[in-house]
Amino acid sequence: MKTPLIDNLQYANFSPAIFEQMRAGGVDAVHVTIAYHETFREMVLNLERWNRWFEDHPDLIFKGTTAADVSLAQKTGRTAIFFGFQNPSPIEDDIGLVEICHQLGIRFMQLTYNNQSLLATGCYEDDDTGLTRMGRAVVTEMNRVGMVIDMSHSGERSTLEAIDHSTRPIAITHANPHWWHVALRNKSDAVLKALSGAGGMLGFSVYPHHLAGGSDCTLDSFCAMIAEAAARYGAEHLGIGTDLCQDQPDSIVEWMRVGRWTKGIDYGEGSASNAGFPPMPSWFNDNRDFGNIRTGLLNAGLEIAQVDGIMGGNWHRFYQQGFGPA
């Protein structure tokens, strides 16, 4: 069986049309965001919506919970959908909900989304105090049940402490190196060395605010960056996490950045004059465009085996290591 194609982060406005595009692009598995600022009960309503999609479109998608489901997707010509949180809000202040959420199919959870949480510090806070007491306990519990720690929106110290405290490899599912593009959301060389040194994974984002040149970023620049990252950290620790927000209305950006924590508007990575979703780069608009990235990586000088790993093989291995109980 060929190496799978996996996108380890999307928050699209999902629809049958997008599911069809996943199949047209040969995408075998997608990690989708099931919650940003939702409470536990609100998150369950999102699960209900996905259950209807699984019921209505069984020829296109199905719920994935184990690495074996990626292989099943390949065999049956469908896309396995894996669930994750971009914020720990669904576990509220109850560590017991970590296991409950895992039982419901959640396989990734960010410890923060830009702000300070009960668990750690987000990348937009002025003072990163690292993992909290609850944060350390939750990391231990996530390790036990088989839920992957995701530090995509976390601060430097918190990320390094999560890598150190976790007994299992962690992930940064959607970000790029800070040395390529200076953005609060992108990760330092020190973090990426620690991440890869502990067996973790980095998913490269194509969200324009994370790209050198923004929406005008070229495929050559993006793929040259990945080739440099492979030289620095090892290609086996790299994958794709596009952060694709296809078909989302601009109002969703406000929800992502603001949630319920402020009465004002937090423009985050945008500005008051450009607070909506930026245009995608010309070479990646939807799930049918992964072939452009594969071609670009080959043109950047990476070996076929390295490209296969980055396009999905490495995430598949990581799923095998991270989704089961310790």
* DSSP conformation letters of 215-252: GG--HHHHHHHHHHHHHHH-GGGEEE---B-TT--THH
User: Tokens 């950290």 belong to which residue?
Assistant: 233
Q: For residue 51, what are the contacts with CB-CB under 8 A and spacing of at least 6?
A: 63
Beta strand 148-150 pairing with 106-110: parallel
Q: Which pLDDT does position 294 carry in this prediction?
A: 98
- Would you give per-residue pLDDT tens digits along the chain (326 residues)? 899 999 999 999 999 999 999 999 999 999 999 999 999 999 999 999 999 999 999 999 999 999 999 999 999 999 999 999 999 999 999 999 999 999 999 999 999 999 999 999 999 999 999 999 999 999 999 999 999 999 999 999 999 999 999 999 999 999 999 999 999 999 999 999 999 999 999 999 999 999 999 999 999 999 999 999 999 999 999 999 999 988 777 777 776 777 888 888 776 655 444 567 889 999 999 999 999 999 999 999 999 999 999 999 999 999 999 998 98
Show the domains of the chain with their CATH numbers.
6-89+171-184+200-322 (3.20.20.140)
Q: Which residues contact 174 (CB under 8 A, 6 or more apart)?
A: 8, 9, 152, 203, 204, 205, 207, 210, 241, 242, 243
Residue 268 Cα distances to 17, 38, 96, 257, 263, angstroms: 30, 19, 32, 6, 15
As to burial, measured by CB atoms within 10 angstroms (0-12 exposed, 13-18 middle, 19+ buried), residue 163 is buried
* Threshold 0.85, pTM exceeds: yes
Cα separation, 2 vs 307, whole angstroms: 13
d(CA 162, CA 139): 7
CA 113 to chain centre: 12
* 230 contacts 309 by C-beta, under 8 angstroms: no
Separation CA 270–CA 187 (nearest Å):
18
Torsions phi, psi for 273 (to 5 deg): -90, -10
Phi, psi of 20 (to 5 degrees): -65, -40
What is the per-residue pLDDT for 272? 46
- CA 109 to centroid of chain Cα atoms: 9
The answer to whether the beta carbons of residues 22 and 14 sit under 8 Å apart is no
The total of other beta-carbon atoms located within 10 Å of residue 241's CB is 27
Which one-letter amino acid corresponds to residue 200?
A: G
Cα 15 to Cα 47, 99, 108, 241, 246: the distances in Å are 15, 29, 22, 19, 10
